[in-house]
């Protein structure tokens, strides 16, 4: 018992030291263009930003997938889902499990801690399961390359979600790719420009370990430059090891060192967990937050005014599209093109709509799970 206690104390001490070191590093350095927003407001760019937000503030009502399967779907199939360390992955598992049950299929959830070792163990489990399909999140093909021959021999349909992997050479279907996701960065930038009247001074916090988000940052920076050339911009990287270990303190440390910043953009909304309280305690509650991803904590922050907006990730539609590709494979019907649901900007004006859930997740398209079930001919 004493040994366990000392281990826990030592672990807390190490995490505290890492957080302190990262705070110093983030406070002292940055990338991108920095400086107080100055110069005349680009009225053309400001109007474009407002028009974009008006367009995407309305919630989409249709799926991109519209072709019915049109054949009886065989029951008794098995799908493995390789989850991740983030809480959102548990929600995704619930969405997939509910729809797999509608098909009379079994969904096996294989948890990982995000390390390559645990991910390789997960793929070894998929091989042993001889699953009909596998859906996995943000795992580079180099991690599972050696398993591909066995997976192909087993007839396992490979669905890559939210990674930089392209379909082909063992990957059968890819969705939530960097190119598909980058539009969220454009909308985050446009919202900042519109909300600030063309006078934003922004920093974008990215998690480089989530390689599928790489082009979102590029799109954010490019849109800021296009719509608001006089706006200040900078970027900061958050190491994946810091998630859950003091990210708000890291952000506050950066903001203290850069008091001209008035907008924070987050590549994933979960980085904001606990941030509003930290901002208030530091006297920085004038700084406005926008992010990507969504979730119950985010919706609550928007309702209370602690966050101004979010571009929700279409979790429900993305992973059910992955399941749909497995359905079409085992049924022997043509695949449909991989596309994300249309983006949606959630603000205080429309956040009440997020109360509608599918297995605990907020769909971007209302009733999207039922729409997929209709395409499959199940109810």
pLDDT number for residue 38: 58
Whether 104 is in a domain gets the answer yes
pLDDT number for residue 22: 46
If we measure between CA atoms, which residue out of 173, 158, 131, 165 comes closest to residue 335? 173
Joined together, the tokens standing for residue 319 give 């992973």
pLDDT number for residue 257: 97
Rounded to 5°, angle at Cα 180 from 78 and 106? 10
If we measure between CA atoms, which residue out of 310, 219, 222, 229 comes closest to residue 266? 310
Domain with residue 318: its CATH number is: 3.40.50.2300
Is there a contact between 348 and 80 (Cβ–Cβ < 8 Å)?
no
Joined together, the tokens standing for residue 285 give 């509650």
Residue 228 and residue 335 share a domain: no
pLDDT number for residue 11: 37
Residue 199 and residue 53 share a domain: yes
pTM value is 0.86
Residue 207 and residue 287 share a domain: yes
Report CA 76 to chain centroid distance, whole Å. 31
pLDDT number for residue 37: 52
Which residues, 6 or more positions from 12, have their beta carbon under 8 angstroms from its beta carbon? none
pLDDT tens string, the chain, 379 residues long: the values are 333 333 233 334 334 444 444 444 454 445 544 444 557 899 999 999 999 999 999 999 999 999 999 999 999 999 999 998 776 788 899 999 999 999 999 999 999 988 899 999 999 999 999 999 999 998 999 999 999 999 999 999 999 999 988 899 999 999 999 999 999 999 999 999 999 999 999 999 999 888 888 899 999 999 999 999 999 999 999 987 787 778 999 999 999 999 999 999 999 999 999 999 999 999 999 999 999 999 999 999 999 999 999 999 999 999 999 999 999 999 999 999 999 999 999 999 999 999 999 988 999 999 999 999 999 999 8
**Angle in degrees, 0-180, between the axes of helices 214-227 and 183-196, rounded to the nearest 10:** 40
Residue 258 and residue 161 share a domain: no
Give the 3-state secondary structure of 321-347. HHHHHHHHHHHCCCCCCCCCCCCCCEC
**Residues of the domain holding 100:** 78-176+314-339
Q: In what order do the strands lie in the sheet with 133-137?
A: 106-110, 78-82, 133-137, 157-161, 173-175
pLDDT number for residue 90: 84
Residue 115 and residue 162 share a domain: yes
How many domains in the chain? 2
Residue 275 and residue 323 share a domain: no
Residue 250 and residue 275 share a domain: yes
pLDDT number for residue 31: 54
Residue 206 and residue 95 share a domain: no
Joined together, the tokens standing for residue 348 give 């205080």
Q: For the chain, how far is it from start to end, CA to CA, in angstroms? A: 52
Residue 298 and residue 152 share a domain: no
pLDDT number for residue 20: 42
Q: How many CB atoms lie within 10 A of CB 102?
A: 15
Residue 284 and residue 255 share a domain: yes
């Amino acid at each position: 018992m004493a040994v366990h206690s000392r281990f826990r104390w030592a672990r807390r001490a190490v995490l505290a030291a890492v957080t302190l070191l990262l705070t110093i590093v983030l406070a002292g350095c940055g990338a991108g263009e920095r400086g107080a927003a100055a110069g005349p407001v680009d009225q053309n760019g400001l109007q474009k930003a407002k028009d974009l937000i008006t367009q995407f503030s309305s919630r989409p009502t249709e799926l991109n997938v519209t072709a019915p399967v049109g054949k009886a779907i065989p029951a008794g199939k098995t799908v493995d889902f390789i989850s991740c360390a983030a809480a959102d992955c548990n929600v995704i598992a619930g969405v997939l499990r509910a729809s797999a049950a509608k098909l009379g299929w079994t969904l096996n959830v294989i948890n990982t801690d995000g390390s390559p070792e645990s991910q390789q163990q997960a793929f070894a489990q998929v091989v042993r399961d001889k699953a009909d399909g596998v859906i996995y999140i943000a795992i580079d093909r180099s991690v599972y390359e050696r398993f591909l021959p066995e997976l192909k021999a087993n007839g396992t349909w490979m669905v890559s979600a939210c990674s930089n992997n392209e379909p082909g050479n063992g990957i059968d279907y890819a969705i939530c790719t960097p190119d598909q996701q980058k539009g969220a960065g454009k909308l985050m930038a446009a919202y900042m420009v519109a909300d600030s009247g063309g006078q934003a001074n922004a920093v974008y916090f990215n998690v480089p370990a989530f390689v599928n988000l790489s082009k979102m940052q590029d799109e954010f920076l490019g849109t800021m430059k296009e719509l608001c050339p006089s706006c200040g911009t900078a970027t900061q990287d958050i190491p994946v090891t810091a998630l859950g270990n003091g990210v708000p303190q890291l952000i506050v440390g950066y903001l203290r060192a850069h008091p001209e910043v008035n907008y924070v953009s987050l590549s994933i909304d979960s980085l904001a967990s606990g941030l509003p309280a930290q901002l208030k305690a530091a006297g920085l509650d004038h700084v406005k937050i926008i992010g990507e991803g969504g979730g119950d904590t985010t919706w609550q922050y928007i309702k209370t005014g602690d966050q101004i907006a979010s571009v929700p990730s279409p979790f429900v539609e993305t992973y059910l599209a992955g399941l749909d590709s497995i359905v079409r494979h085992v049924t022997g019907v043509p695949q449909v093109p991989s596309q994300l649901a249309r983006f949606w900007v959630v603000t205080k004006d429309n956040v009440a709509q997020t109360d509608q859930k599918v297995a605990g997740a907020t769909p971007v398209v209302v009733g999207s799970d039922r729409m997929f079930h209709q395409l499959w001919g199940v109810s």
